[in-house]
Amino acid sequence: MNSTLIRSGFTCMALLLAPLAAQAADLPPAYKAPAYVAPSYSTWNGFYVGINGGYGWGSSKWDVPPVNTKPSGALAGGTVGYNFQTGTWVWGIEGDWDYSTMKGSVSCVGGTATCTTKNDWLATARARLGYAGWNNWLPYITGGAAYGDIKATNTAASSAHKGELGWTAGAGVEYAMWQNWTVKVEYLYVDLGKFTCGTACGGTPSDHVSYTTNIVRAGINYRF
């Protein structure tokens, strides 16, 4: 009697649970959040070398004769640098040397002569700070020392030239094309101060010639 009741109870329970099991089978699978994947950034660590070229335009003020020439022209040369990356920040140092054709002339000495300022070469040594959080792009700011040869000529007198140490600052953006190659475009403001041209430029021994310039250039680098 008891065994008959037990079997009957189990049979009823099975009949009641069968529809519930069928409904459970029709439920959608439980949601599982995707695993977190950290964003990937380009690696900028290491040494690099490259070439660059561009155009510059600026201003050169003379004490005597009181004129202001506007040197402009092309530049081209080589680049060497090193980057150290911490997360998305890239810290670096960079140096370059460019051959320059920047030159400007004006009429002076009452129109009887020509005064010319010329820059034959320009070099910079700069620190760089860039942000590498945008895939292969590296926008950066830069600043440091500049050194260049400045020549001043007065056709009514003579000429003088001197290597002048100054400063530079600017900004740019670099793009990693492939594993080792990058391209960049940048702007630099350069101030080489002024040098004593004196009687060679037709003035007194203490007269000066100043030189500042703006440079826009592009470059390509190979990273080791």
Element (H, E) at 181: strand 181-196
Identify whether the C-beta of residue 128 lies closer than 8 Å to the C-beta of residue 162.
Answer: no
With bands split at pLDDT 50, 70 and 90, how would you rate the model's confidence at 214? very high
Tokens of 182: 């990058």
Model confidence pLDDT, tens digit, residues 3-62: 554 454 445 444 444 444 444 455 455 555 555 444 455 689 999 999 999 999 999 999
Q: Which two tokens stand for residue 130?
A: 């860039």
Q: Tell me the longest C-alpha to C-alpha distance in the chain.
A: 137
Q: What three-state secondary structure class fits 23?
A: helix
* Residue 128: DSSP 8-state: E
Which has more confidence, 43 or 93? 93
Which pLDDT tens digit goes with each residue over 110-167?
899 999 999 999 999 999 999 998 889 999 999 999 999 999 999 998 999 899 999 9
Mean pLDDT calculated for residue range 192-204? 88
pLDDT of residue 33: 53
Pairing of strands 159-176, 181-196: antiparallel
Task: Tell which residue, 17, 107, 120, 11, has the closest CA to residue 66.
Answer: 107
Q: Are strands 113-131 and 137-154 parallel, antiparallel or unpaired?
A: antiparallel
Interatomic CA distance for residues 82 and 47, integer angstroms = 4
Q: What is the pTM of this model?
A: 0.80
Quick one: how far is CA 170 from the chain centroid?
A: 8
Give the span between the Cα atoms of 76 and 217, in whole angstroms.
9
Other beta carbons within 10 Å of 103: 18
Q: Is the sign of the CA dihedral 210, 171, 223, 167 positive or negative? A: positive
Q: What kind of fold does domain 46-223 have according to CATH? A: Porin (2.40.160)
pLDDT of residue 102: 98
The CA-based dihedral angle spanning residues 129, 132, 136, 142, taken in that order and rounded to the nearest 10 degrees: -10
Reported as half-sphere exposure (CB side, CA atoms, 13 A), residue 50 has a value of 24
For 167-190, what is the mean pLDDT? Answer: 95
What's 24's DSSP letter?
A: H
- What was the pLDDT predicted at 179? 80
